[in-house]
Amino acid sequence: MNWHVYLIIGLCILVFLAGSFFTARSPYTRATHLFTKAEVSFYRELVRAAGNDFVVFGKVRGADLVVVTSAGTRRHHMQALGRIKRDDLIDQLFKKVKLPVVWVPVTKFYDSALIRQMINQTIIDSMNSTRQG
């Protein structure tokens, strides 16, 4: 065969492979919703409970609120992740940096008045522990 034929066949194979490469499925896809239906329900009641006294942000990571200051501490926290349940770790970590946390149990329906009561009690408890500590 003529080298032109080999060149054309090679180019066709290259175009085919390149097309396959660029159309390959990505392991990522766009999320269809920021919140689940349950999270939307809770968020609405939380905003109602907060009223004009607080600003409610959704989907805030613990890493946005607590800064790891040394490599040793970071390593300790990474090891702790394997030993301690996530919620317990957050409780311990936030207590250490004096950041109160309100844990609202998951339920089918949320009561903004009850959530507000829980927020107020957490604030009172936090203020009392600050005065004592």
pTM of the full predicted structure?
0.58
pLDDT of residue 110: 93
The answer to whether the beta carbons of residues 100 and 127 sit under 8 Å apart is: no
Instruction: Look at residue 20 in the predicted model and tell me its pLDDT.
Output: 58
Q: According to the model, what pLDDT value does residue 92 have?
A: 84
| Domain containing residue 83 | 35-132
20-36 pLDDT per residue, tens? 555 566 676 777 888 99
The Cα–Cα gap between 123 and 105 comes to: 18
CA-to-CA distance for 50 and 55, rounded, in angstroms?
Answer: 7
Q: Which residue has the higher pLDDT, 46 or 4?
A: 46
In a domain, 112, yes or no: yes
Q: Assess if residue 4 is contained within a domain.
A: no
Q: Cα–Cα distance between 107 and 110 in angstroms, integer?
A: 7
Count structural domains, the chain: 1
Q: Give the mean pLDDT of 85-111.
A: 85
In a domain, 110, yes or no: yes
Nearest one of 69, 50, 66 to 58, comparing CA atoms: 50
- What pLDDT, in 10s, does the model give residues 42-65? 999 999 999 999 999 888 877 777
Given pLDDT bands bounded at 50, 70 and 90, which one contains residue 133? low
